[in-house]
Amino acid sequence: PAFAIVRPQSITLARTALDTSARNTFRGTVDDIDRVGDRVRVGVAGPLHLTAEITVGALESLALRPGDDVTASLKATDVETYPA
């Protein structure tokens, strides 16, 4: 057994699936939005619960609200594993 950890800053959000080099994509639903200074933590419920950290500008540009469907993406190189 092992734990897999991804830094919230390494997760990107989009309203639709993007064609990028990030091969790990997960569809989910925004379930939490928490402003922390000049950043915003966005919880995404789906097959895995993920927390992404984005800028206030990105939040406004995406116009995210709880209940919205999003695609969360991350690169495999951003995943850290540790023994359980």
Domain boundaries, the chain: 2-83
Residue with tokens 């990107």: 12
User: In whole angstroms, what is the distance from residue 79 CA to residue 74 CA?
Assistant: 8
pLDDT at 2: 94
Predicted confidence (pLDDT) at residue 20 exceeds the cutoff of 80:
no
pLDDT at 19: 74
pLDDT at 24: 87
Which residues have C-beta within 8 Å of that of residue 59, sequence separation ≥ 6? 33, 40, 42
Predicted confidence (pLDDT) at residue 18 exceeds the cutoff of 80:
no
* Topology annotation, domain 2-83: OB fold (Dihydrolipoamide Acetyltransferase, E2P) (2.40.50)
Report field, pTM of the whole predicted structure over 0.85: yes
More confident residue, 10 or 17: 10
Beta-sheet strands, E only, within 1-84:
2-6, 12-14, 24-36, 39-45, 50-55, 69-74, 79-83
Tens of pLDDT, residue by residue over 21-65, are 667 899 999 999 999 999 999 999 998 899 999 999 999 999 999
